[in-house]
Amino acid sequence: MTKFDPLDMHNYRIEKLPKREISNIEKWLAAAGIILAILAFVLLAFVIKLPFLYSIEPSQLVTDAAKHAYEKMGTALFIRSNEFMLAIFVASIILWMTQAIPNYLTSLMLIIGLVLTGVLSEKTAYAQLGHPVMWLNIMSFVLASMLVTTGLAKRFALWLIIKFGKNASTIFLTFIVINLILSAFISATTAKAAILLPIFMVIAAIYGATSGEEKTNFGRSIVLQNLLNINLGAGAFVTGSGANLIAAALIGGAIGGKIFFADWMMAMFPMMLCLMFVGYLVAMKIFFPLKPEERIPQIEGGMERLKQEFHNMGTITGLEIRSAIIFIVILGFWATDNIHGVSATAIAFVGAIVALLPGVGIIKWNEVDIPWHLMLFSAGAYTLGAGLDATDLPSISVNAFFDHLGIGDDTHFWVLYLLLTGVMVFSALLFQSKTMRTMIFIPIAIGVANRFGFEVVSLALPVAFMIEHVYVLPFNSKPAALLYETGHYSLADTFKYGLTMMIISWLLIIIAGETWFRYLGITPHGVFGIF
């Protein structure tokens, strides 16, 4: 039997990680999910009559799609459409949360459900697979595959670690830089986790941290900080994840304009960089301080193995240079999209075409790794958004909720700001999917802004900025689930560290709302009014 080599990166490939045992609660939820979803659908569609759905007036409708649907259907059919929309919405959320069936299958059922109940036409429902954000996701996976296939991402990460990771402290700081730079180019957080995992696992082994019962603070810190930074890095750019892109599309549709890459980066890059350094200090000084022996490599010649791994890659190849040029050009065009007006999707399209061109390009189509199950799941989320837009259910529900509580239209902006951003960030403790949270809470934020007469971006955009805080529990995101399999930390470790960072992030978004966001013109009384 071959002896396990803790410094062999191949031992830390995703497929070699042990699979986490599904808890009894998760098994129970999966078993009950289908029954609960069916029950919720039947009750909301056929049994329970919610009063606020029967008092809809044309003047209350906000979206153009809803106004058009009301004129076409008439009052009775429009109300019936809202009932079916609410029933499908709640049933889908239950299935997504309980994971009773695969999330892509829930999306397929959702799409056909909206068609059969008449909420959406077939043309509108099926067309969401061709949503611009869907194409941006596909093209981004083509470009990310180029980074992985050529080895450029691995070469870059190893070079930074070897060059600047001279001791335990600088290693952690170097990973902050790596995560931020990769986030600008790769829109899939799972792909970033897959690239970085073998590297920081080897480093953990070098410093004496191995998975199992004997956990060390070095092991806890390097994995949990990378989990945090993978997600925070994604929040720095609108292209950082599909959920960000969905939020930008929803807000752009509500304001009849665009949320540009440059504007999102201007608002969030400095904030996410700040949070990464705070995460470093919280881990190293409070929760996981390193013992003196943990600051010294425990395996002799360990860093030499990383240097050897880097040496084995040989000199940088022409394909890698061309990959770097393509990505730098793409990033340049993304960062200046508010000047030239070309969409991020169109820019990614051109980059992907160049990468795939025979004889000129860098990769072949069969080398591209596109997770189509995630694409189908996203298509369902977009279709759900189209249904919410066609029925105007978020605005109708928000108005009924505030009317029921007796909250007047003179409610202060900052009360709504605190409420919406707080609900968005802490909802990550319960939800499995960033996309799902986006599809629920961005329309609500838009509805609240319309209800109280505030600019949509002033509430919806700060809510969107909280999408990527999905690092507290293993089921909160795919990178969280993946990194939990490493065995370097416990549920208690990730909960106390993650929840602390989540609270700090909420406090920072509140401070930014009164300062940085005002300066940018996002929140009221801003100076420049960028958006």
| Secondary structure (H, E, C), 62-103 | CCHHHHHHHHHHCHHHHHHHHHHHHHHHHHHHHHHHHCCCCH
The SS3 call for residue 524 is coil
Q: For residue 14, what pLDDT is reported?
A: 53
- Better-scored residue on pLDDT, 489 or 462: 462
Whether residue 13 has pLDDT greater than 70 = no
Reading the block at residue 14, the tokens are 């995703």
Angstrom distances, CA of residue 140 to CA of 74, 132, 135, 406? 42, 12, 8, 46
Q: For residue 10, what pLDDT is reported?
A: 54
Averaging pLDDT over each range in 13-22, 395-404, 415-424, 445-454, which range is the top one? 415-424
Whether residue 11 has pLDDT greater than 60 = no
Whether residue 235 has pLDDT greater than 90 = yes
Altogether, the residues listed in the chain come to a count of 531
Whether residue 23 has pLDDT greater than 80 = no
**Closest among 265, 282, 272, 308 to 172, alpha carbons compared:** 282
Q: For residue 226, what pLDDT is reported?
A: 93
Q: For residue 527, what pLDDT is reported?
A: 38
Reading the block at residue 277, the tokens are 């350094």
Averaging pLDDT over each range in 42-56, 121-135, 436-450, 507-521, which range is the top one? 507-521
Q: For 197-234, write each residue's pLDDT tens digit.
A: 887 888 888 887 776 667 889 989 999 999 999 999 99
Average of pLDDT values for 382-401? 82
Lowest-pLDDT range of 269-278, 281-290, 432-441, 446-455: 432-441
What's 4's DSSP letter?
P
Share of the chain above pLDDT 90, in %: 31
Beta strands (DSSP E) in 195-284 are none
Q: Exposed, middle or buried by CB within 10 Å (0-12, 13-18, 19+), for 268? A: buried
Q: For residue 272, what pLDDT is reported?
A: 96
CB 248 within 8 A of CB 238: yes
Q: For residue 121, what pLDDT is reported?
A: 93
Q: For residue 529, what pLDDT is reported?
A: 41
Q: For residue 60, what pLDDT is reported?
A: 74
Half-sphere exposure of 435 (CA within 13 A, CB side): 27
Q: For 128-179, write each residue's pLDDT tens digit.
A: 888 787 887 788 778 878 877 888 877 887 888 888 777 888 889 998 998 9
Whether residue 406 has pLDDT greater than 60 = yes
Average of pLDDT values for 469-482? 83
Reading the block at residue 393, the tokens are 């259910």
The three-point CA angle 39-40-45 to 5° equals 105
Averaging pLDDT over each range in 196-210, 388-402, 470-484, 511-525, which range is the top one? 511-525
The count of other CB atoms within 10 Å of the CB of residue 283 is: 23
Mean pLDDT of the chain: 84
